[in-house]
Amino acid sequence: MPHPTSLVQVQLSRRSFFKTTSVLAAGSVVQSLIQAQSAEAKGPLMAYVGTFSSPLKDMLPTQVDLPPGNGRGIHLFQVDRSTGALTPKGVHEMGTSPSALALNAACTHLYSGNETEHVGEKQEGTVSAFAIDPADGQLKLLNTVRSGGKGPTYLSVHPSGRYLLVANYFGGSVAVLPILPDGRLADAVDVKDDAGDLGPARATNAPAGSFAFSGHDRTHAHMILTDASGRFVIHADLGLDRLFIWKFDDQKGLLSPNDPPSVALPPGDGPRHFHFHPNQRWFYSIQEEGSNVVLFDYDAGKGQLTPRQTISTLPQGFAGSNFCSEILVSADGKFVYAGNRLHDSIGIFAVGEDGTLTYVGEEWTRGDYPRSFSFDPSGDFLYCCNQRADHLATFRVDKKTGSLNFTGEYTPVGNPSIIVFKELDLQG
């Protein structure tokens, strides 16, 4: 028979257990409520989709030389944070194909590269500045200026917030436009015209049987971006098969050639877009016609790129035509995603400890001609702009495996080109 003291101890232990369990359970509930309230405390999430759009009657001074698009300008959506679904919230109508978008760091202003070729008699595109209403996310046009070349196709904001960098695809030039204190744009303070020997029509690393020939008829600046420090600016010219590296004077907004001033990609491969790894030591460039990704080591002190690995964006054994498009590195640096047009897939790569890539699979984009794709701010969803299918497809991201799982959500948008996100003020 147990000792009386032992019985008391057992009873006390049971009481302590149930008391502790109740406290823990209550704590768990409180923690869940705190997490839920924290999630609810976030303001509405808005998405802005740039498109290729047909000219409007009230925009006759600007001529769009590209084939007419099905978009209506910049399309606005509210994002469901739990499902990824997009709810239409209006359109800022533009007939100038605002196919490139960029937000400033504070997300108070949006800039659009309008992929036109003529402004009146001058062969040049335009860039527009918008103020974003913090309450409902609607856009107010502030001003429109010339882009420093034909067909602006990519924009980025310098880390200082005082300059907008523009890549003009049809003009083969890059430009620096000052951002004024109120968010408006001033005329370009520097324009650099790309020059050099054009690459061949057939890419060195093209897939077997590929007829994906484009972009080597002339210079084609396709992307421009700074490194994290803002001291160096890198831009890709597809026609010249080169990545140009510039020193940047953030006081005057001027570009000067780095030493060396550029790095060559294989002839005809056509560098299109690139993305830094979060550690800023690895740099991934995707080649439109070569259908591959090249890993570079980046020397942040000197602004120098050294190639180390080349890997196909396509499944082993693929033969036929393909144009690569977008490339993104996940925020945690574990995966790289590469877009394939014509093959209509997103290649998924695991990032090794030394930055090298291993092909782990692909996901069908559920549409035609994926021009670009973007993660939402949480990284839980990836949105693919299927340009020729006139829709966006939404995928849930598995952050452990890197896989993309289609949510079943198709969002109709005519000729979507790019999607960017802004969180609205909670008070709104």
pLDDT digits (tens, 9 = 90+) for 9-47: 434 344 443 444 444 444 444 454 444 444 456 899 999
CATH architecture entry for 194-364: 7 Propeller (2.130)
Q: What's the one-letter identity of residue 338?
A: A
Please, are residues 253 and 189 in contact by the beta-carbon 8 Å criterion? yes
Amino acid 182: pLDDT? 98
Amino acid 22: pLDDT? 45
pLDDT digits (tens, 9 = 90+) for 106-156: 999 999 999 987 776 777 899 999 999 999 999 999 999 999 999 999 999
98 vs 128: CA distance, rounded Å: 9
- Among 21-30, 33-42, 340-349, 390-399, the minimum mean pLDDT is found in 21-30
Please, are residues 83 and 409 in contact by the beta-carbon 8 Å criterion? yes
Amino acid 214: pLDDT? 78
411 vs 333: CA distance, rounded Å: 28
- CB atoms near residue 308 (< 10 Å): 14
Residues of the chain with CATH 2.130.10.10: 43-193+415-428, 194-364
CATH class of the domain defined by 43-193+415-428: mainly beta
Model confidence at 355, pLDDT cuts 50, 70, 90, reads very high
- Among 113-122, 224-233, 310-319, the minimum mean pLDDT is found in 113-122
Give the mean model confidence (pLDDT) for residues 85-95. 96
Q: Residue 213 above 90 pLDDT?
A: no
pLDDT digits (tens, 9 = 90+) for 67-80: 668 999 999 999 99
Q: Is 38 exposed, middle or buried (0-12, 13-18, 19+ CB in 10 A)?
A: exposed
Amino acid 67: pLDDT? 61
Q: Residue 257 above 80 pLDDT?
A: yes
Look over the chain and give the mean of its residue pLDDT values, rounded to a whole number: 90
Please, are residues 150 and 168 in contact by the beta-carbon 8 Å criterion? yes
Model confidence at 402, pLDDT cuts 50, 70, 90, reads very high
DSSP state, residue 277: -
Tell me the pTM.
0.89
307 vs 294: CA distance, rounded Å: 7
Closest by CA position to 80, among listed 370, 414, 396: 396
Q: What's the one-letter identity of residue 87?
A: T
For residues 428 and 81, which has the higher predicted lDDT (pLDDT)? 81
Q: Work out the angle at residue 34's Cα, subtended by the Cα atoms of residues 32 and 37, and round it to the nearest 5 degrees.
A: 110
Please, are residues 86 and 392 in contact by the beta-carbon 8 Å criterion? yes
DSSP string, 174-211: EEEEEBPTTSPBPPPSEEEE--SPPPPSS-TTPPBT--
pLDDT digits (tens, 9 = 90+) for 162-185: 999 999 999 999 999 999 999 999
